[in-house]
Amino acid sequence: MRPTMNAFRKMLVLAVFILILAPISNAMASDCPPGQGDCHGLETPSPPNPMSLDARKNATLRTAGTEWITDSGFNLDQYLYRSGSPIEFTINVDQSISQSSVYLTLSTYDVDYDGGSTPERDKAYINGNYLGYLTGSNGAWSINTFTVPTSLLNAPGANTVTVEIDTLNGGWAVTVDYGIISTSGTASNNVTINSGAFTVQDTDSDSKYNTITAQVNATATNSGSYALNGALYSSSGQLIGWASTTVSLTGGVATDIPLNWNGEDINCLQANGPYQLKDVTIYNTSDTSVRAFNSSLCSSGSYLYSDFEACTSTVPLVIAKSPDDGALDVSVKTTVTATFNLDMDAATITNTNFTLATNAGVSVPGTVTYNSSTRVATFTPSSNLTGDTQYRAVVGTGVKSLGGVALASAVDWYFTTGSSCSDVATKAYTFQSGTPAKAEEVNQNFDILYSQINSLNCLVQSLKDIICRDNPTASVCN
């Protein structure tokens, strides 16, 4: 009986992994972002009282196997400046997870996301993979919930959560109280997000909208002060911005709570609808364990950015990025692009001001070009990127418009490459029962087998490249 191609494939995979798994198991290491340099804080240190999770840990509020919590130790509950960066701790997950994504929730204090000309930008990572910025306001607690692809998680295993403090060096400080990995987002606890709906306002009767508002309807079990925040995205997935507000709720009374975004900002970003309200969190400002979360609450009508007030700002903006921020399985042959809202000075768009590096800080050589007709700057790597690696692209403040105005702050984003190997053939020729095999049919099957062997070799080499990049002395690198 002739062995099938699946049998060939299984034997090859087994042989390869028997040879490589033993030395690899001792060589793997995660990339965590390095701490930043010292700075002199502008805030007056005022360490907060950490919010206790004791109430969250009772049987009625915590279902075993769906949440994993770290609430103490490491450098949690400390008021830290950039010089104390990063905040880092681990969350242990004790079982495998079958769903495609999970949630990381962080309780944070004093995140000055809208803090002046150099706002606070604290970056959150899990296992070295960038998730996004913390949001919040001065002197207040906030809840940040990030959607995490399960592929980035160690389940079961220990997961390293990292917060890189004040990356723009504005003199800000922050506290992280606790972290939760959960399979169902931030569990509702004595407050519920019921629904959401968008409205637009033309306050000066010029047929252009000044504001877009998301009305979030919520009900709290008990009266008190509640904070609400959420993110507005365009139809292309571009983040327009975060909005937040604090309101008093009466226990048991469903209440509409407005989140507002400036119409001119939408025009400046050239962001079209339908707009999406995502990552909506509401929590009690006195006890952040009283909270609820909705990852995607509602959509708006099909507005165009030109429906909103005209952009009067002369400050250039990056209005589109490719690959998208947070993109996974990006081709190793990708170029990186940034699109601007204004005509730019091509002489300022260089490989000094537009850079690409691994998340570990290894610079990628390449060339930078600018297309004045499309306002697109392109970074082209000199060679293919490394597979299964996270990269950070940065457009710096040295980039200027034709009017000589620089970016207000550096713009960066992250993406992760997929395998550097070509696609593996998955189907061999099917022989007809009772019919002698033709020479071309046999040759076709052997060609497919040869292709699969080459693809397996490529996968092994890619894995070896990743190991040896971080552990050059590992035995597999000799």
* pLDDT for the residue 42: 47
Helix (H) or strand (E) holding 106: strand 101-109
Among candidate residues 228, 223, 226, the one with its CA nearest the CA of residue 250: 223
Strand order from edge to edge, sheet including 224-233: 239-249, 224-233, 276-284, 287-299
Beta-carbon contacts of 159 under 8 Å, excluding residues fewer than 6 positions away, are 90, 91, 92, 93, 126, 127, 153, 181
What is the residue whose two structure tokens read 């499309």?
374
What span, in angstroms and rounded, lies between the C-alpha atoms of 194 and 278?
14
User: What local confidence, expressed as pLDDT, does residue 47 receive?
Assistant: 47
The rounded average pLDDT for each run of 10 residues, N- to C-terminus, in the chain (478 residues) is 45 44 37 28 49 35 65 91 92 91 90 80 91 84 86 93 89 92 75 96 96 98 93 91 92 97 96 94 85 90 97 94 89 95 97 93 96 97 92 94 93 86 46 54 54 58 59 66
pTM tops 0.85: no
First to last CA, the chain: 42
C-alpha–C-alpha distance, residues 140 and 52, integer Å: 16
How confident is the model at residue 8, as a pLDDT? 45
DSSP code at position 209: B
pLDDT for position 459: 61
Look up residue 454 and give its amino acid.
N
Q: How far apart are CA 392 and CA 413, in angstroms?
A: 6
Which residues lie closer than 8 Å to 384 by C-beta, 6 or more apart?
332, 333, 420
